[in-house]
């Protein structure tokens, strides 16, 4: 068997640990774990199994296709479709699979109301408290309650809203969203759900009946200027490759495409078997770190399709075959994402099918 060039190792015990940290932040809330986008690139089925074993209350996915993958794998835990359904056929399949449909727009309400009256549906209503992405206006909550009461086979699971700026602890907008949602719900029965990861970390008033953690389950912090370990989280993913060449390059010579890096002195340069075709951002600049032998060394020159080059002057003992960590314990994904001008979400979700996954 050929050795994998790039490996993403997912520590499922870290995922379970992070679920426990969610419960410590919000001990009175039920937990709907966001495992959309293939569990943020970590593998939806193995992550769902680990969280189900740990007693998570429900899962959230984006769409029916993601839910079908889980049901086909034998996952029996409650699953909510955050974007709802797109057709009557999807609605019927969702009902058969005992999925919970989030209704966020009038056309979806009309679509579901047009189904045969005896079709049993579990539904959430999504309300727009100010993010202006998905959801009914808050003023329509009474009308939605009336529509629900008119459908005897509809079972309300709760009311959802989403926070736009929860990662800012001083956000006036977040305070306004929570206040507006609470006011709209004052006379409306049913469970509430407000907080994503940042909301449940930074906004105690958002820790209501349900919380919906995503990023923090995978060990990364949603709060700017912090990493997961600052919040007691454990990184679940380690992405690693290996050195496949080590060269002595003379002073004044250039390295990589475009000759953008000029060697300031005679120096050892390592070549790592990973590149943007594997999901490493091409925008990563000279100076961005990787780990070799638990020591940080900087990337130099441009990221190529299949390779990066690194400065080994501070690690003269480095040799072909040494493991190279792109992110993981000791090199937080949040830090690497900052170098790339993006978020850890995009690092995780951006890995390609060339990367070999293993679960421990």
Q: State the first-to-last Cα distance of the chain, in angstroms, to the nearest integer.
A: 20
Selecting among 30, 126, 218, 257, the annotated active-site residue is: 257
The first and second tokens of residue 41, run together, are 């690139």
**Strand residue runs (E) in 237-294:** 237-249, 254-255, 261-262, 267-272, 289-292
- Cα(27)–Cα(271) distance, rounded to whole angstroms? 48
8 A C-beta contact, residue 301 and residue 260:
yes
Q: Any catalytic annotation for residue 234?
A: no
- Cα(245)–Cα(345) distance, rounded to whole angstroms? 31
- Cα(333)–Cα(341) distance, rounded to whole angstroms? 12
- Cα(314)–Cα(285) distance, rounded to whole angstroms? 19
Selecting among 36, 40, 261, 276, the annotated active-site residue is: 36
The set of residues, in sequence order, having a beta carbon less than 8 Å from that of 198 and lying 6+ positions away, is: 163, 166, 167, 222, 223
Residue of 293, 274, 272, 290 lying closest to 282 (CA atoms): 274
8 A C-beta contact, residue 289 and residue 297:
yes
**Strand residue runs (E) in the chain:** 7-10, 30-34, 58-61, 78-81, 100-103, 121-128, 136-137, 154-160, 192-193, 210-211, 237-249, 254-255, 261-262, 267-272, 289-292, 295-300, 308-311, 323-327, 356-359
8 A C-beta contact, residue 316 and residue 268:
yes
Phi, psi of 348 (to 5 degrees): -60, -45
Q: Any catalytic annotation for residue 345?
A: no
DSSP 3-state helix, strand, coil percentages of the chain (rounded to 5)?
35, 25, 40
Reading phi first (left if > 0) and then psi (alpha if -120 to 50, else beta), residue 306 is in alpha
8 A C-beta contact, residue 194 and residue 163:
yes
Strands 121-128 and 100-103: parallel
Point out the residues that are catalytic.
36, 257
């Amino acid at each position: 068997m050929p050795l994998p060039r790039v490996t993403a190792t997912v520590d499922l015990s870290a995922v379970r640990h992070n679920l426990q940290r969610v419960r410590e932040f919000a001990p009175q809330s039920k937990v709907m774990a966001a495992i959309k986008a293939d569990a943020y690139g970590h593998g939806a089925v193995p992550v769902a199994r680990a969280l189900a074993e740990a007693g998570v209350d429900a899962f959230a996915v984006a769409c029916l296709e993601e839910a079908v993958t889980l049901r086909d794998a034998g996952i029996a835990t409650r699953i909510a479709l955050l974007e709802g359904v797109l057709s009557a056929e999807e609605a019927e399949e969702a009902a058969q699979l005992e999925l919970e449909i989030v209704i966020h727009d009038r056309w979806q309400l009309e679509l579901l109301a047009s189904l045969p009256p005896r079709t049993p549906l579990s539904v959430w209503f999504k309300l727009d408290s100010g993010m202006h992405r998905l959801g009914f206006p808050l003023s329509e909550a009474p009308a939605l309650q009336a529509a629900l009461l008119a459908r005897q086979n509809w079972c309300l699971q709760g009311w959802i809203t989403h926070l736009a700026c929860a990662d800012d602890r001083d956000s006036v907008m977040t305070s306004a969203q929570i206040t507006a949602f609470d006011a709209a719900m004052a006379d409306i029965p049913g469970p509430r759900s407000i907080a994503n990861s940042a909301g449940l970390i930074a906004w105690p008033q958002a820790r209501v009946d349900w919380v919906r953690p995503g990023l923090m389950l995978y060990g990364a912090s949603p709060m700017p200027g912090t990493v997961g370990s600052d919040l007691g989280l454990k990184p679940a993913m380690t992405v690693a490759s290996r050195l496949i060449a080590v060269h002595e390059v003379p002073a004044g010579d250039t390295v990589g495409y475009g000759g953008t890096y000029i060697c300031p002195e005679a120096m050892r340069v390592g070549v790592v078997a990973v590149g943007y075709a594997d999901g490493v951002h091409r925008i990563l600049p000279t100076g961005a770190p990787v780990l070799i032998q638990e020591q940080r060394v900087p990337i130099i020159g441009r990221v190529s399709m299949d390779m990066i080059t690194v400065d080994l002057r501070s690690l003269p003992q480095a040799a072909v075959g040494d493991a190279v960590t792109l992110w993981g314990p000791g090199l937080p994904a949040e830090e690497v994402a900052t170098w790339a001008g993006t978020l850890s979400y995009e690092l995780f979700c951006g890995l390609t099918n060339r990367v070999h996954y293993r679960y421990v």
